[in-house]
Amino acid sequence: MLSSLANRLYWMGRNLERSEATARLLQVYADLLLDLPKDAGIGWETLVRITGAEEAYGQARQWGVANAVLRYIAADQSNANSIINCIAVARENVRTLREVVPREGFESVNDLHLLAQKKLGRTSYVRVRFTILKEIVQRCQQISGLFEGTMSRGLAYDFLMLGRYLERADMTTRVLDVAGEALSLEDEISDHDALVWISVLRSSSGYQMYRQSVRSRVTPVRVLHFLINDLSFPRSIRFCLHEIRRSAGELPNGEAPARAVEDLLARMDGTTLKHLATSDLHGSLDAFQQDLIKVHEAISSTWFEH
Amino acid sequence: MDWSGYDNSQTYDELIGDNRLPRPVAAPLANYLSRLSQRQLQSRQKASERAIMAMGITFTVYSDGQNIDRAWPLDIVPRVLDGAEWNVLEAGLKQRLQALNLFIDDVYHEQRVVRDKVVPQHLISSSRDFLSRCVGANPAHGVWAHVCGTDLIRDADGTVYVLEDNLRVPSGVSYMIENRGVIKRVFPELFANMNIRPVDAYPSQLFDMLASLSPRGGDDPEIVVLTPGIYNSAYFEHAFLAQRMGAELVTGQDLVVEDDGCVYMRAVEGLIRVDAIYRRVNDTSMDPEAFDKESLLGTPGLFKAWYQGNVAIANAPGCGVADDKVVYSYVPDLIRYYLAEEPLLANVPTYRCSDESSMQYVLDHLPELVVKPANESGGYGMIVGPAASRGEIDRFRTLIKEQPRNYIAQPTIALSTVPTVCGDVIEPRHVDLRPFVLQGARSSVTAGGLTRVAMRKGSLVVNSSQGGGSKDTWVVDPS
């Protein structure tokens, strides 16, 4: 397989995952913020920080208006990570991947792009946002399912999965990082902190699964453990890393990326939850993110640039 | 649809002959159409348009600073050709390409053709597409132009003429194949009852031709299709052909020339040596080292790798020297000179403005003539005298005087018509035909080709970039 083709598959995987995660995040936070008092320590700026867009946002907008934040994250052309741009990139990728992805895959991504172009930029945005965001999440899930259900397991599928799981792990660390900064990590938490931790779970689609597997009160340490380490939950960082390691093992010359994954797993093993919750959550998550960047670099230098 | 109201009095019609009776070879089709109600005809046209959308058959138009993917325009009424007539045209097309290849090879070697005064020296020395770097190169089988799209037209009296030989990167063949796929769904009954020659062998013929050029020989050559990228108007076709041949679709950045002088593609498995490149990029965007130093496109060292015989490139660099409308005017002479045969296909009578007496004739008769630049394709930069304004004619008069070598002129040919669905009715519309000719170790020709149709009443412009449509083309043998 051509390196450039593998590269486009990887980035299509990343961009579809990012679109879905960002749409869900917006949905959950928009919902949450209606319930929180203004001094809750969490606000619209939290969203911008999770999506890594502070600087660009600061330059582009006056702070504080819900509508502006939503629009910036969802539909701003100047924000490289906005949903509309992620979908547009995924669509440009899939245009050149028609030979390796199922025809319905091309059509679905194309339709998603048309939907985003038509509806995300609309001015009456707050009013209709729930429907659109929900539809985007659903479409992305449908596309993921289509690829899983129709693509032969081979090079193309593995590169798509590398992109998806790397992006997913990255997104989970971001969500945790920002929540950890804004919220108390003590076991005894206030009602609205509890609400926010539940939202953290929901923005990873994890609330229901958490409830089934944890079966006790929501506490910061348990949420952290679930989203970082639970090997049965497909959005936990550890689960994503195992998937990346598996795909790397299937691919030719995958030693370096697999080693980079092992390094991060070793770091996670060496970081106890107690340590995470009590001393330096931000520092630990930041180290995880740096390691994820190294995994990406290993993937890139092994298969895309030579 | 009743043929008695069909007005084919203007020129030769491919389906309907004298007294508005169908030509024998088209009779089953014409009779079938005559039994369809207007509504049935419309619903079949709509069904074909839906199939084209669903199959994602598109072409790209650059407009308002944006690239737009448009659904491919296909009219459902096929153009029908008699198998016996086609056999002659097919032989003529092969003959023509063989002569052109001998000419190109000669141009880049001894230029006997100039020495023997068959063509003048200035034809080569002033050609924009003569690449002096190609002198002395020896591509496999002595073939330079491996893929040729030859445009054929039929005049009012039924004579078929060659309008031009497209040797650079002719496109359209994927649409020929896709058109057939759609029309088979629209008229399955007719395919069951008529002997229509299939067209879908082309990708495997193209593959075999490319394989016959491989410098390493062997059964498993690595073949790639080189595209300028997704924004090229023919990207759909590049992807289509790569897919049908099982070849990789690459851009210049995917290829690299290593120290051993061979071409490799960058793959996740490592570097993989490439044997033959079906290139759909211009000569000068292939290799920034050899041609355009400023170009970001291309693969440094590619030209040298080809020149040394380490990789085959189809069509070979420099073959554009024969894709020139002044060279065109000499093709019948070239056939006689190189093959010692009489041409089987006629040229449209052509006035070379480089000849002084011809130029004077052209200047005196501009309103009757079609004037074309020697080196453009796609219908750009030309003028159709009878349809041109006074200002345009004056502008061309100046252009011709300034650079006579750059222009040729031809009488306006009527172009035959084919019945075409126009809104609620079927009316005659003008068509041309582009068959695709392959030459490697052997020669082959598509059965028919791509019929392009001018959708506007009376218009002679068939280019899809300028609002033309297309038709399926049936070469029919007696059943």
A205, A241: one domain: yes
Calculate mean pLDDT across residues B82-95: 97
Task: Please state the domain count of chain B.
Answer: 1
Residue B33 has pLDDT above 60, yes or no: yes
Per-chain mean pLDDT for chain B: 91
In this complex, do B230 and A92 lie within 8 Å of one another by their Cβ atoms? Answer: yes
Contacts of B58 (CB under 8 A, 6+ apart): B69, B70, B71, B72, B236
Residue B208 burial (C-beta neighbours within 10 Å; 0-12, 13-18, 19+): middle
Q: With an 8 Å Cβ cutoff, is A252 touching chain B?
A: yes
A124, A203: one domain: no
Q: How far is CA B100 from CA A261, B90, B214, B341, in A?
A: 59, 16, 22, 14
In this complex, do A251 and B253 lie within 8 Å of one another by their Cβ atoms? Answer: no
Look at residue B261 and give its three-state secondary structure: coil
Distance CA B61, CA B234 (A): 10
- The nearest alpha carbon in chain B to A108 belongs to B54
* The B255-257 sheet, strands edge to edge: B255-257, B263-267, B270-273
Q: How far is CA B320 from CA B97, B141, B311, B317, in A?
A: 13, 18, 19, 8
Residue B223's DSSP bridge partners are: B276
Residue B50 has pLDDT above 60, yes or no: yes
Q: Could you read off the pLDDT of A178-206 as tens digits, one per residue?
A: 777 777 777 777 887 888 888 888 888 88
In this complex, do B254 and A2 lie within 8 Å of one another by their Cβ atoms? Answer: yes
Task: Using an 8 Å CB-CB cutoff, list chain B residues near A159.
Answer: 268
Asked if B69 contacts B60 with a C-beta cutoff of 8 angstroms, the reply is: yes
**Residue A5 — very low, low, confident or very high, per pLDDT cuts 50/70/90?**
very high
Asked if B139 contacts B312 with a C-beta cutoff of 8 angstroms, the reply is: yes
In this complex, do A252 and B243 lie within 8 Å of one another by their Cβ atoms? Answer: no
Can you read off the two tokens belonging to residue A75? 């539909």
φ, ψ (nearest 5 deg) of residue A261: -65, -45
Distance CA B380, CA B384 (A): 11
Task: Using an 8 Å CB-CB cutoff, list chain A residues near B249.
Answer: 99
Calculate mean pLDDT across residues B415-433: 93
Q: Which of A151, A172, A190 is the last residue of a domain?
A: A151
Task: Using an 8 Å CB-CB cutoff, list chain A residues near B253.
Answer: 4
Residue B276's DSSP bridge partners are: B223, B312
Residue A277 has pLDDT above 80, yes or no: no
Residue A240 Cα, gap to closest chain B Cα (Å)? 22
In this complex, do A2 and B266 lie within 8 Å of one another by their Cβ atoms? Answer: yes
Residue A275 has pLDDT above 70, yes or no: yes
- The nearest alpha carbon in chain A to B229 belongs to A96
Buried residues in A39-48 as b, exposed as e (16+ CB within 10 A) = ebebbbbbbb
Look at residue B150 and give its three-state secondary structure: strand
Residue B144 has pLDDT above 90, yes or no: yes
Task: Using an 8 Å CB-CB cutoff, list chain A residues near B251.
Answer: 4
Calculate mean pLDDT across residues A28-54: 73
In this complex, do A3 and B266 lie within 8 Å of one another by their Cβ atoms? Answer: yes
In CATH, what number is assigned to the domain containing residue B389?
3.30.1490.270
For residue B403, tell me if it sits in a domain.
Answer: yes
Q: With an 8 Å Cβ cutoff, is A160 touching chain B?
A: no
- Work out the percent of chain B whose per-residue pLDDT is above 90: 65
Distance CA B226, CA B235 (A): 10
Contacts of B316 (CB under 8 A, 6+ apart): B104, B134, B137, B139, B143, B144, B145, B146, B306
Residue A94 Cα, gap to closest chain B Cα (Å)? 11
Look at residue B50 and give its three-state secondary structure: helix
A158, A271: one domain: yes
CA angle B366, B462, B81 (to 5 degrees): 110
In this complex, do A306 and B266 lie within 8 Å of one another by their Cβ atoms? Answer: yes
A126, A165: one domain: no
Residue A31 has pLDDT above 80, yes or no: no
B447: left (phi over 0), alpha (psi -120 to 50) or beta: beta
A-facing residues of B in 32-91 (CB < 8 A) are: 56
Q: Could you read off the pLDDT of B308-364 as tens digits, one per residue?
A: 999 999 999 999 999 988 899 999 999 999 999 999 999 999 999 888 888 999 999
Span between the terminal Cα atoms of chain A, in Å:
14
Per-chain mean pLDDT for chain A: 86
Q: With an 8 Å Cβ cutoff, is A255 touching chain B?
A: no
Q: With an 8 Å Cβ cutoff, is A232 touching chain B?
A: no
Q: Could you read off the pLDDT of B272-302 as tens digits, one per residue?
A: 999 999 999 988 889 988 887 777 778 999 9
In this complex, do B253 and A4 lie within 8 Å of one another by their Cβ atoms? Answer: yes
Calculate mean pLDDT across residues A155-180: 91
A184, A280: one domain: yes
Task: Using an 8 Å CB-CB cutoff, list chain B residues near A252.
Answer: 268-270
**Residue A61 — very low, low, confident or very high, per pLDDT cuts 50/70/90?**
low
**Residue B474 — very low, low, confident or very high, per pLDDT cuts 50/70/90?**
very high
Task: Using an 8 Å CB-CB cutoff, list chain B residues near A98.
Answer: 56, 239, 243
Asked if B344 contacts B95 with a C-beta cutoff of 8 angstroms, the reply is: yes
**Residue A99 is part of which domain span?**
1-151
Strands B351-352 and B255-257: unpaired
pLDDT of residue B258: 96
Q: With CA atoms as reference, report the closest residue to B24 among B83, B75, B68, B77.
A: B83
pLDDT of residue A35: 73
Q: With CA atoms as reference, report the closest residue to B128 among B293, B373, B347, B444.
A: B373
A83, A159: one domain: no
A146, A184: one domain: no
pLDDT of residue A126: 64
Give the other-Cβ count within 10 Å of B120's Cβ: 15
pLDDT of residue B355: 85
For residue B72, tell me if it sits in a domain.
Answer: no
Residue B266 Cα, gap to closest chain A Cα (Å)? 6
Distance CA B26, CA B476 (A): 8
- Work out the percent of chain B whose per-residue pLDDT is above 70: 97
| ipTM summary value | 0.76
Strands B425-434 and B417-422: antiparallel
The amino acid occupying position A225 is H
Distance CA A266, CA B25 (A): 77
A175, A245: one domain: yes
φ, ψ (nearest 5 deg) of residue A81: -100, 5
Q: Which of A104, A128, A151 is the last residue of a domain?
A: A151
Q: Which of A4, A106, A303 sits opposite B254 (nearest CB)?
A: A4
pLDDT greater at residue A245 or residue A216: A245
B-facing residues of A in 167-226 (CB < 8 A) are: none
pLDDT of residue A63: 44
For residue B360, tell me if it sits in a domain.
Answer: yes
Residue A146 Cα, gap to closest chain B Cα (Å)? 18
The amino acid occupying position B424 is D
Q: Could you read off the pLDDT of B166-186 as tens digits, one per residue?
A: 998 999 999 999 999 999 999
Task: Using an 8 Å CB-CB cutoff, list chain B residues near A103.
Answer: 56
Distance CA B433, CA B86 (A): 12
pLDDT-wise least confident of B113-127, B266-280, B379-393: B379-393
Residue B377 has pLDDT above 60, yes or no: no
Task: Using an 8 Å CB-CB cutoff, list chain B residues near A95.
Answer: 230
A79, A115: one domain: yes
Residue B280 Cα, gap to closest chain A Cα (Å)? 16
Can you read off the two tokens belonging to residue B422? 């126009």
Q: Which residue has the tokens 């032969």?
A: A152
pLDDT of residue A185: 74
Q: With an 8 Å Cβ cutoff, is B242 touching chain A?
A: yes
Q: Could you read off the pLDDT of B98-113 as tens digits, one per residue?
A: 999 999 999 999 999 9
Q: Which of A92, A96, A155 sits opposite B268 (nearest CB)?
A: A155
Distance CA B118, CA B121 (A): 10
A115, A82: one domain: yes
Q: With CA atoms as reference, report the closest residue to A69 among A49, A40, A84.
A: A49
Residue A126 Cα, gap to closest chain B Cα (Å)? 30
User: B295-300: long-range contacts at Cβ-Cβ below 8 A with a sequence spacing of 24 or more?
Assistant: B297/B228, B297/B251, B297/B252, B298/B252, B299/B252, B299/B253, B299/B255, B299/B256, B299/B257, B299/B263, B300/B257
Query: Which residue out of B52, B244, B268, B272 would a mutagenesis test of the A interface target, given it has the greatest number of A Cβ atoms within 10 Å?
Result: B268
For residue B170, tell me if it sits in a domain.
Answer: no
A112, A193: one domain: no
The amino acid occupying position B426 is I
Distance CA A248, CA B294 (A): 38
pLDDT greater at residue B251 or residue B459: B251
Residue B240 Cα, gap to closest chain A Cα (Å)? 9
Residue B60 has pLDDT above 80, yes or no: no
Q: Could you read off the pLDDT of A78-132 as tens digits, one per residue?
A: 888 899 999 999 998 888 887 788 888 988 998 899 889 888 876 555 666 778 8
A241, A287: one domain: yes
Can you read off the two tokens belonging to residue A24? 């869900």
Give the other-Cβ count within 10 Å of B334's Cβ: 23
Q: With an 8 Å Cβ cutoff, is B230 touching chain A?
A: yes
Q: Is the peptide bond before B315 cis (omega within 30 degrees of 0)?
A: yes
Q: Could you read off the pLDDT of B186-238 as tens digits, one per residue?
A: 999 999 999 999 999 999 999 999 999 999 987 789 999 999 988 888 888 99
Can you read off the two tokens belonging to residue A233? 């939950």
Task: Please state the domain count of chain A.
Answer: 2
Calculate mean pLDDT across residues A237-258: 96
Q: Which of A136, A151, A166 is the last residue of a domain?
A: A151
- The nearest alpha carbon in chain A to B238 belongs to A96
**Residue B371 is part of which domain span?**
349-411
A299: left (phi over 0), alpha (psi -120 to 50) or beta: alpha
Q: With CA atoms as reference, report the closest residue to A101 among A66, A36, A152.
A: A152
Asked if A256 contacts A245 with a C-beta cutoff of 8 angstroms, the reply is: no
Residue B54 has pLDDT above 80, yes or no: no
Task: Using an 8 Å CB-CB cutoff, list chain B residues near A251.
Answer: 268
For residue B290, tell me if it sits in a domain.
Answer: no
pLDDT greater at residue A27 or residue A252: A252
In this complex, do B268 and A252 lie within 8 Å of one another by their Cβ atoms? Answer: yes
B117: left (phi over 0), alpha (psi -120 to 50) or beta: left
pLDDT of residue A42: 67
